[in-house]
Chains A and B, each alone.
Chain A
């Protein structure tokens, strides 16, 4: 076929706001006035912000999401193209340093409604029960102020809402099964299965990933085009833009896009009163609010709080502990490349489609605490080129030759737990952004345990690649998934917020995103971020008006409110053994 039937594809020009080929968003949405004292302002409509917005709107609150990036119309704004997807990422200036500086930009956070969930690979494993108490178990890192059992109903709930595809029985951590069936394998997944099977390592096939293996209302299932990290135009991959934002808008939330929050305002009574933000033209505005939730990602959240320093909060808003920006974490994400005699064509199928968590837990035989996972990745040409540059020091003709073999390579990513260290931090740089706001300076250093863990993880991953039949194995060091930097805890001296994300210092200021994590395990953080957001929302809903009027801190956990889920959640999915 030279052309599709009826000629080349044209995106229908309709004034519908499209998020995927079939799904659209009900516009116009509700608009609030700036002088209106809305109930909640959410800074950043990303992974966490999207879920929060939907929950709070459905519960009947007046809520505005201020989002620095655009409100995507996926049919018009997104492309199946690596270079053309630059805009999905946060590319405002930042400085990175330390002994092991992290690559930022495309490597970590999103900009635009949906945030990082727009360009994540959508691996959605849960944390393990042990992750919540690694200090108690291994005397490293920190304990969470909550246990696995407290977050578990939210895992189960979000796995339905995204929904997550995966095996019927997932053996690691707290064993469970998934809402949607597993995906078919691409070449990389098959390599992982082969390698693991040869070494007798259990492997989870076809998930857990928040990618549809069957249709879900107006979201078609995956077409295996492999552009997940460039934003899924199909809408098969879950992003809060397609899973939660449509319902939020339907139930009366407002999203003000291209609105960059610059400062949170503190009133005389020690409570926040709203936020200052710049619109797309650079004009400054102030939105009043009864409470503020910051969901801007593990870099922008601490940056905003630090930039909001004011009399009484000289070190940053709500920073009496001095821990805002501290204990930043990233996971080791070394990419191991293997060359196979037979072609692989790793650009097909989603990058995320198989993994093993067999080495996740602390093993007394190791000389380090905690562990790692091994996952599939499927770099497209530009990304692969840079990996070959790093892994093989290739350039010039050498690079050209290696790249001609693109279709012979498969790539695994390890995901290794790096512990929270005080010296890994987000601070303010001398440099300013286009609004004149100090930009973030990120410092990252590996410590002994981290280095040993990475070495072991790398060797194991290489071993699996070899067992899969690769004739040449090379690797590149990288890091992925920044979390921490505004951690939650029970002790106000060593943490920024309490177990519901509420600032220890300011009763109507909340943080809700990946920066809450006290530790990170070696599971991708996205599911946990969204689960925490749903949990925070339930808490806020149960507290009702008290959040706006009282300085009291009620620490009772409320039962999960499943009725706040987007209605399309129900009536789908495979039978599951709970």
Chain B
């Protein structure tokens, strides 16, 4: 059994709700077993195939982050988008993509006035997170156990960091969270392995989609086969807020005071 967890700590793996036992990592988590967008590459146009191929086969080399910063953000992203349900060879590189973006100073095309430039965000972000870790658990972020790391990040997610106020004075907590989560999502869900996981059909030119209605799969897509799973016991990120629209227009301004109803359920 042990070998199933090869390289991944079972405690960090999602669990079977019936037995409570950790589920061994898969090469492809999600409800679409056997579905592979990459296998459809021959049906894509040359330009798209090149871009996607490169993403899979040649993730960018480190350029921007120094070694410690690289390790630091790697650890953070392992919380923002944990991948312990994936075998190590099938984990999707996130920091590499971010590093590439920062190295080329690519931005979303704007900066909130409550935020420093992106490169600075990732510099002082380390300090802000470390200070929160120190404040809560008397240790730098990297040395804390997984759950405590999760809780440090959750404090920022909740918009309620207690330390490093002088940093947060110049950097909106909410926007900071939005940026690091945004970068994580940008990297993870742009990857064909993530498409396979969520059942997204991927590129579709020149070949069209033909079955537009009722969520029917194309002949080369796969029907959903759901299974149940629980987040690892020692994680704090499983809860979401499903209450309809009690948020103010907060997505867009000020430091929102979030009632995390969902989290208390």
Contact = CB atoms under 8 A, between A and B. Distances in A.
Interface of A: 1-4, 7-11, 21, 75-84, 86, 89-106, 184-187, 190, 223-227, 233-234, 336, 342-345, 347-349, 380-382, 384-386, 388-408, 441-442, 446, 451, 454, 458-459, 462, 472-479
B251 A381 contact: no
Given A97-B114, A223-B209, A106 B201 contact: no
Contact of B200 (A78, A185, A406, A474): A406
A429 to B, nearest CB: 9
Contacts of A187: 212-215
A478 B51 CA distance: 29
B254 A393 contact: no
Given A9-B206, A396-B150, A396-B237, A348 B212 contact: yes
Nearest to A408: B215
Interface stretch (B2-10, B19-27, B39-47, B132-140): B39-47
A4 B203 contact: no
Contact of A223 (B188, B204, B242): B204
B212 A224 contact: yes
Interface stretch (B58-66, B67-75, B77-85, B123-131): B77-85
Contacts of A75: 45, 47
B109 A407 contact: no
Contacts of A96: 110-113
B48 interface: yes
B258 interface: yes
Nearest to B219: A1
Nearest to B235: A397
Contacts, number: 286
A106 B209 CA distance: 25
Contacts of B210: 224
B206 A477 contact: no
Given A343-B224, A451-B249, 12 more contacts: A77-B47, A80-B203, A80-B204, A91-B108, A91-B109, A104-B108, A106-B109, A187-B214, A223-B204, A381-B194, A381-B198, A386-B181
A106 B213 contact: no
A433 to B, nearest CB: 11
Given A398-B240, A479-B252, A348 B199 contact: no
DSSP class of B's interface residues: helix, strand, loop or mixed? loop
Contacts of B182: 386, 389
A8 B49 CA distance: 10
A565 to B, nearest CB: 29
Interface in B157-213: 157, 178, 181-182, 185-186, 188-190, 194-195, 197-213
Nearest to B110: A104
A451 B114 CA distance: 22
B198 A403 contact: yes
Nearest to A461: B245
B111 A95 contact: yes
Contact of B213 (A2, A185, A407, A475): A185
Contact of A407 (B153, B206, B215): B215
B256 to A, nearest CB: 9
A403 B88 CA distance: 20
B181 A82 contact: no
A347 B82 CA distance: 25
A319 B138 CA distance: 58
A571 to B, nearest CB: 26
Given A79-B203, A187-B215, A392-B240, A407 B43 contact: no
B156 to A, nearest CB: 10
A127 to B, nearest CB: 25
B213 A190 contact: yes
A406 B110 contact: no
A176 to B, nearest CB: 27
A226 B42 contact: no
Contacts of A388: 240
A6 B157 CA distance: 52
A93 B250 CA distance: 24
Contacts of B46: 9-11
Contacts of A394: 240-241
Contacts of B51: 79, 81, 84
Contacts of B262: 392-393
Contacts of A21: 206
A223 B185 CA distance: 27
B93 interface: no
A93 B107 contact: yes
A104 B237 CA distance: 29
